Amino acid sequence: MVPTRALRLILSAVAMLTAPALTTASVVITQIEERSFFSLWLLSNHAQQSSAHQQIKDNHEIIVVPYFDEAALTGADMVYLSPSLDELKLAPGELDTLVAFVESGGRLVIPADYGVWADEFRAIAARFDVTYGDSYINGVITADVLDWDNPITNGVGGTVNQFVGSAVNDVLSSSHPDFRVIAQWQAGPSSIGYLQHGAGEVVFLSDFSTFDTDMFFQADNQILWTNLFEYANPSVLRLVTADSCPGPMRFTVTGGTPARKIAFVYAAGLGSVQVPPGYPCAGITLGLNATVSLAGVVEADGSGVAVLDAHIPSRVCGQVYVQAVDLETCQATNVILIE
């Protein structure tokens, strides 16, 4: 896969790491929380455990920093706070630096947790008028998605699960007039929300264990995580659909090469199949399994937008995944589930 732009993303281990801040794509794994399989695999040089891990690594430059200062955040597009075994303790001035980063156009992702990390995450969220409550909810984090068109949740089936045995999703709430709820738990407490602050945005998640554990290997968890990371770079090649299954559905790719061909493919499951020799973009890895088939090839318009219209039968709903490939750059989009 050939990314059009390496997204510089700061992945904070949130504990005070002993390694110096890095300014290259190299990453130091120090004091990362042991069950954070997502973080461990994303930062490793080993073969990735899922196609979503690989896609995130292909499209992002990931750097771990020991603390937040202006130098560490210079050039970053997104900051993700990753809980560690040690409690999150921000040094004086670090929170101000994070707020200034968002105000200047950066994106901050805050995945809360119920318990040991709660107080510090509440302190960070409070700077943006958002509260992580003392109460908690059980079950999936996106039981009810309110905004299917949002790039964070587009293509997610509403079954993003938390860590097995960890029956906690910290409740989100905010009185800020610009706070927007993307997903909630059974028409009740908010589980995903975001807020524009200055020129940037903050995304709030109600339970980091939904993403930082082996639950990441579930299909919808992978889609949500891939969406979240790509959300930091609006110019990235992206596939969305605003329609529902069955019936007519429109699949739209944005960020493609203007006046060049975009291939739409589908499969019966997620995977890491490679395009075989003899085909355009041979050798790239897709996020689909070996049942992949070509749905159609469309030429993008002058803005890099390509549209594929299809009539989807009911037997396909919730069973088939779609992805697209820019045949000029050989960059692949995110994967979405037809539903």
Q: What is the pLDDT of residue 72?
A: 72
* pLDDT at position 53 over 90: no
Which pLDDT band, with edges at 50, 70 and 90, does 254 fall under?
confident
- What is the number of helices (H) and of strands (E) in the chain? 6, 18
Q: How far apart are CA 121 and CA 293, in angstroms?
A: 44
- Burial pattern 129-157, b for ≥16 Cβ within 10 A else e, equals ebebbeebbeebbbbebbebebbbbbbbb
* pLDDT at position 4 over 60: no
Residue from 62, 78, 58 nearest 23 by CA: 62
**Average confidence (pLDDT) over 156-165:** 56
Go through the chain and tell me how many residues it has. Answer: 339
Residue from 101, 95, 100 nearest 79 by CA: 101
Q: Tell me what the pLDDT averaged over the chain comes to.
A: 71
**Average confidence (pLDDT) over 47-53:** 61
- How many beta carbons lie within 10 A of that of residue 3, not counting itself? 19
* pLDDT at position 235 over 80: no
* pLDDT at position 115 over 90: no
Which pLDDT band, with edges at 50, 70 and 90, does 38 fall under?
low
Point out which residues pair with 239 in neighbouring strands.
253
* pLDDT at position 23 over 50: no
Between 206 and 329, name the one with better pLDDT.
329
Percent of the chain exceeding pLDDT 70 equals 56
Query: Are the CB atoms for 8 and 76 separated by under 8 Å?
Result: yes
Between 25 and 204, name the one with better pLDDT.
204
**Average confidence (pLDDT) over 112-126:** 68
Q: What is the pLDDT of residue 107?
A: 80
Domain boundaries, the chain: 7-230, 238-337
Q: What is the pLDDT of residue 21?
A: 29
Report, at the CATH architecture level, how domain 238-337 is classified: Sandwich (2.60)
Q: What is the pLDDT of residue 59?
A: 66
Superfamily covering domain 7-230: Class I glutamine amidotransferase (GATase) domain (3.40.50.880)
